[in-house]
Amino acid sequence: MEIVSIEVNSVAELADAPEEYRQAAGKIVRSHAINELYGAQVFDEPAVAFAPTPYWKWLTCRVAMEEYGHHQRFFRLGQKMGISDDAMIPGKTDKRPLTIFEFTMRSWTEFCVIKLLADMAEIIQVEDLMECTFRPLRDEAAKTMPEEKFHAGFGLRSCTELCRTGEGRREVQAAIDALFPGMPAFFGQPHSKNNALYRKWGLKQRTNEAMRADYLERARVLVEDKLGLKLPAPAG
């Protein structure tokens, strides 16, 4: 596959980049703006009601704010790149959020498992962006990473706490069984044309398949080694 050597240091420089590069960078920024906001809307905000005490409600409220803040980062970058506001807002654009957000969250335990497994997937995506050739995107990825790591760490701590009782362990396992099979789809299709384009321009470093394999191993470590539970097979 052709790999083009390029480094774009600012949004102003982006104007001089090839059209294919600009389109590809725009797609990534849009995708992050849409999915960060949608995730906060369907998981984090509703989870405040499920949280067991004010302590966890306020923590969840803060996590929702941080996810919204991630949307704002990518949204503002998109605006500077000339992407229309509506193209970055779920419900206003025809671009659909990721399928993982179709999961219907019904409990606090499911929210904790979402933080454990879905935020780990996000970390893998953001790690890849931290190497990307479009510096403004790289910078935004670096700024979101500490919070993403905290969110995933919160998922692990809360699931560990829940697993202290037999009933809690069963609930966490049930939530993993319900959520996890759909998670690998987060990384897109194998042999993706979009991913090939992103790698051609150095906007992404790894294939969808490589990120998916990395995710499966990290999820196995979390679920089996750290929580002592069983990771189900991925769908498809």
Partner 1 sequence: MTFDAAVVAQHAGAIETARWFEATGLPFSDDERGALAALAPRIARVGGWAQARAIADDTRANAAYDAAAREAAALRARAEAAGGTPAVLRALSAVVDRGLPVFFRCARTAIARAGLHDEELSRVAAGAAAEAVYRGALAAALGQPAHPFIALEHAYAAGRWPLARIDETLYVL
Per CB under 8 A, residues contacting partner 1 are 49, 52-63, 65-66, 68-69, 72, 150, 154, 157
Instruction: For partner 1, give the closer residue by CB, 23 or 72.
Output: 72
CA–CA distance, 219 with 89 (Å, rounded to integer): 30
DSSP one-letter string for the chain: -------B-SHHHHTTS-HHHHHHHHHHHHHHHHHHHHHIIIIIHHHHHH-SSHHHHHHHHHHHHHHHHHHHHHHHHHHHTT--GGGGSBTTBSSPPPGGGGS---SHHHHHHHHHHHHHHHHHHHHHHTT-SBHHHHHHHHHHHHHHHHHHHHHHHHHHHHTTSHHHHHHHHHHHHHHGGGGGGGG--TT-HHHHHHHHTTS--S-HHHHHHHHHHHHHIIIIIIS---PPPPP-
Instruction: Give the shortest CB-123-to-partner 1 separation in angstroms.
Output: 16
Q: How far is the CB of 195 from partner 1 (least distance, A)?
A: 32
Nearer to partner 1, 65 or 197 (CB): 65
C-beta closer to partner 1: residue 69 or 182: 69
Q: Which is nearer to partner 1, 101 or 154 (CB)?
A: 154
Q: How far is the CB of 208 from partner 1 (least distance, A)?
A: 32
Closest approach, Cβ 109 to partner 1, in A, equals 16
Q: How far is the CB of 164 from partner 1 (least distance, A)?
A: 15
Nearer to partner 1, 28 or 141 (CB): 141
